[in-house]
């Protein structure tokens, strides 16, 4: 791959900013969502776990469908266009629909929020990533390098959100809605510059259409189930750990507002480091292999979770938070490299959305609720020790069960 040609590729400069904006909006939601639920809405940790479980539930409803449709559509933009349109209503939904319903009834609010968040983020993020990864292969640029735009967007957003959230939480939601319009504009530009890639995609599509039988054949493969084992036992457990980490982080500060601002700045620093690592990780993974990349990610996640169980100072918890910048590139790029190495690349969206995202969401339904219960009963640090032992064991097992080469 020629780097000079990659940087001259218009798709690189369209989908890089698309990643930036999409993850900017997502960072408004994800890191501070548990704080919004507890401080603004007044939910308990158990009720917060219910909300996350409902989001996971509706994400499950969309993941298989999005995966199959994405592989059928190829480079057509129907799904990411729908996601972008819904993000125009980011603020109206959270402020005028979601918040009142949560105050009225936890289950009605959680189920309603699950539909929206499940579509635009839980299933939407994987759809966006799988689509742009497909574009990168068709247009000839490295996915990891365009994905780093998302890390920068997430980091800047987290910093701004930490400041604005402590002033007026509603401001950040309106920023998200405004940025939704920019996503639509970028998709308009992409439709005018991607003709070559569309020709390549049409030739691939004409060879033989993706069928439901092809999709179901994935689940007769041992390597698919071993991949899912890794995803559930390592990636999902880590994600559940990270859901309420912001609340744990703030417990080290006497002033909750100061903790929120500090969390935003640390997240920003971590995401910029994440972007730097993301730039070099494709080169590293191409040399060590996708399987080893996933094992490295598992080791880093285990260290962060178990380390948090023993953290006693702000400095320690900040260092542990910064490990996120090493784990994310190895996991995200490693997963796509693993999928395109081990599985049929024409089914890459299905494997990613179902094998990676859907399996995480399925496991997150009981795990999020269980973790919320354990937080209330045992405290954060004892729960983190349990979660850390799970990721350690599954990472060790995966060293023997993940595949190295495709076996057709």
Task: Kindly write down the DSSP assignment for every residue of 40-71, as one continuous string.
Answer: II---HHHHHHHHHHHHHHHHHHHHHHHHHHH
- The single residue listed with the structure tokens 């903790």 is 259
- Distances in whole angstroms, Cα of residue 379 to Cα of each of 7, 247, 287, 369, 382: 49, 12, 42, 14, 6
The answer to whether residues 72 and 195 touch, using CB atoms and an 8 Å cutoff, is no
Q: Which residues contact 304 (CB under 8 A, 6 or more apart)?
A: 238, 241, 320, 321, 323, 324, 327
Sketch the domain layout of the chain as residue ranges: 1-206, 208-407
Where on the phi/psi map is residue 140: left (φ > 0), alpha (ψ -120 to 50), or beta?
Answer: left
Q: Which residues of 289-305 are buried (b: 16+ CB within 10 A; e: fewer)?
A: bbbbbbbbbbbbbbbbb
Angstrom distance (rounded) from CA 102 to CA 330 = 37
Which fold is adopted by the domain 1-206?
Growth Hormone; Chain: A; (1.20.1250)
In the three-class reduction of DSSP (H, G, I as helix; E, B as strand; rest coil), residue 220 is classed as helix
- pLDDT at position 407 is 52
Where on the phi/psi map is residue 74: left (φ > 0), alpha (ψ -120 to 50), or beta?
Answer: left
* Residue 212 token pair: 């439901």
Where on the phi/psi map is residue 379: left (φ > 0), alpha (ψ -120 to 50), or beta?
Answer: left
Can you give the C-alpha Rg of the chain in angstroms? Answer: 20
Angstrom distance (rounded) from CA 381 to CA 323 = 17
Angstrom distance (rounded) from CA 318 to CA 42 = 26
Q: Which residues contact 224 (CB under 8 A, 6 or more apart)?
A: 218, 343, 351, 355
- Distances in whole angstroms, Cα of residue 396 to Cα of each of 239, 302, 339: 19, 11, 20
Closest alpha carbon to 321 in 386, 381, 265: 265
CATH of the domain spanning 208-407, picked from 1.20.1250.20, 3.40.50.720, 3.30.70.120, 3.30.300.30: 1.20.1250.20
Angstrom distance (rounded) from CA 60 to CA 210 = 21
The answer to whether residues 144 and 283 touch, using CB atoms and an 8 Å cutoff, is no
Closest alpha carbon to 146 in 133, 134, 156: 133
Q: Is the pTM of this model over 0.85?
A: no
Q: What is the pLDDT along the chain (408 residues), one digit of tens a residue?
A: 555 566 677 888 899 999 999 999 998 887 778 888 888 888 887 888 888 888 878 888 888 889 888 888 888 888 999 999 999 999 999 999 998 998 888 899 999 999 999 999 988 998 999 899 888 888 878 888 888 898 888 878 877 877 787 788 888 899 999 999 999 999 988 865 555 455 555 545 455 677 778 888 888 899 999 999 999 999 999 999 988 888 888 888 888 788 878 887 887 788 788 888 888 888 899 899 999 999 999 999 999 999 999 998 989 999 999 998 889 899 999 998 999 889 888 888 889 988 998 888 788 878 888 888 898 899 889 999 999 999 999 999 999 999 887 554
- pLDDT at position 4 is 54
- Distances in whole angstroms, Cα of residue 248 to Cα of each of 34, 263, 300: 11, 10, 19
Distance of CA 187 to the CA centre of its chain: 21
- pLDDT at position 406 is 59
The answer to whether residues 331 and 235 touch, using CB atoms and an 8 Å cutoff, is yes
Q: Which residues contact 175 (CB under 8 A, 6 or more apart)?
A: 28, 160, 164
* Residue 339 token pair: 């999928």
């Amino acid at each position: 791959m020629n780097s000079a040609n990659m940087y001259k590729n218009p798709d690189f400069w369209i989908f890089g900013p698309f990643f930036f904006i999409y993850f900017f909006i997502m960072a408004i939601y994800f890191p501070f969502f548990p704080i919004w639920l507890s401080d603004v809405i007044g939910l308990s940790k158990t009720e917060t776990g219910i909300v996350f479980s409902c989001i996971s539930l509706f994400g499950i409803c969309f993941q298989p469908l999005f995966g199959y449709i994405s592989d059928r559509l190829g480079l057509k933009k129907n799904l990411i266009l729908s996601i972008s349109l819904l993000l125009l209503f980011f603020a109206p939904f959270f402020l005028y629909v979601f918040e009142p319903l949560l105050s009225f009834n936890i289950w009605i609010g959680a189920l309603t929020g699950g539909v929206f968040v499940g579509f635009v983020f839980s299933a939407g993020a994987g759809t966006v990533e799988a689509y742009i990864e497909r574009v990168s292969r068709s247009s000839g640029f490295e996915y990891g390098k365009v994905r780093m735009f998302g890390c920068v967007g997430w980091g800047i957003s987290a910093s701004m959100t930490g400041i604005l959230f402590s002033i007026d939480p509603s401001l950040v939601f309106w920023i998200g809605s405004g940025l939704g319009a920019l996503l639509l504009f970028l998709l308009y530009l992409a439709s005018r510059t991607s003709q070559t890639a569309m020709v390549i995609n049409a030739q691939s599509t004409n060879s033989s259409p993706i069928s439901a039988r092809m999709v179901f054949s994935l689940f007769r493969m041992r390597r698919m189930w071993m991949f899912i084992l890794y995803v559930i036992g390592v990636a999902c457990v880590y994600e559940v750990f990270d859901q309420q980490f912001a609340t744990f982080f703030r417990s080290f500060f006497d002033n909750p507002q100061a903790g929120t601002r500090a969390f935003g700045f640390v997240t920003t620093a971590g995401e910029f480091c994440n972007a730097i690592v993301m730039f070099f990780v494709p080169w590293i993974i191409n040399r060590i292999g996708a399987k080893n990349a996933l094992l490295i990610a598992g080791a880093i996640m285990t260290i962060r979770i178990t380390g948090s169980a023993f953290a006693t100072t702000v400095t320690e918890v900040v260092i542990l938070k910064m490990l996120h910048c090493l784990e994310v590139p190895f996991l995200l790029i490693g997963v796509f490299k693993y999928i395109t190495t081990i599985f049929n690349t024409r089914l890459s969206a299905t494997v990613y959305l179902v094998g990676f995202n859907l399996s995480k969401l399925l496991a997150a339904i009981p795990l999020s609720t269980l973790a919320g219960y354990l937080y209330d009963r045992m405290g954060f640090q004892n729960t983190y020790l349990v979660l850390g032992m799970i990721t350690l064991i599954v990472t060790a097992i995966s060293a023997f069960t993940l595949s190295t080469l495709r076996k057709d």
